[in-house]
Amino acid sequence: MRYLFLLILVTCVCCKNTQKPEVALTAPIENPVGDALEVYDFEEFESLLHKKDNYTYVINFWATWCAPCIKELPHFEQLNAQYADKNVKVILVSLDFPNQYDFRLKPYISSNGIKSKVVALNDPDSNSWIPKVDKNWTGAIPATLIYNDQKRTFYEQSFDYDQLQTAVKPFLK
């Protein structure tokens, strides 16, 4: 319960006095995600946090209602495009509420041309899964995990592109 409270508190504080992104909240629009949005509970999702292969994974936790998250998403898209040939995979993990997938999340993905893999994490027991992502994570977003088969680092912060590149470079093989 402590983590859920902190997530709500930090989100309110972080997003206070920031401009909310303009997203259509009416009928869903046609988009490439369609009904193919992968929705996981944490047990299903957890394997994405522990892959042992030749890739570096950049896993960003975000939501459409989080202004700092929306501001940094283009940097993750740029990283995804520029580092794909360096075995970097970007996964954007939406923490949007399930009732917002069709009316907010999918339209956002479509209208912004998001090419990175987007999955939705729908597991209301955040108190149990937040410390499994990182024991020091308070639950605030945006948050990013970067890992490969040799190391992992967790960031509870926003990134600009230079900061994101600097964080990823030590992971490149």
Confidence band of 15 (pLDDT split at 50, 70, 90)? very low
The superfamily CATH assigns to domain 2-17+28-171 is Glutaredoxin (3.40.30.10)
**Residue 2, token pair as written in the block:** 């402590």
Query: Over the stretch 81-120, which tens digit does the pLDDT of each residue have?
Result: 999 999 999 999 999 999 999 999 999 999 999 999 999 9
pLDDT digits (tens, 9 = 90+) for 130-148: 999 999 999 999 999 999 9
* 8 A C-beta contact, residue 64 and residue 108: yes
Gap between the Cα atoms of 45 and 93, Å rounded: 10
Instruction: Write down the domain spans for the chain.
Output: 2-17+28-171
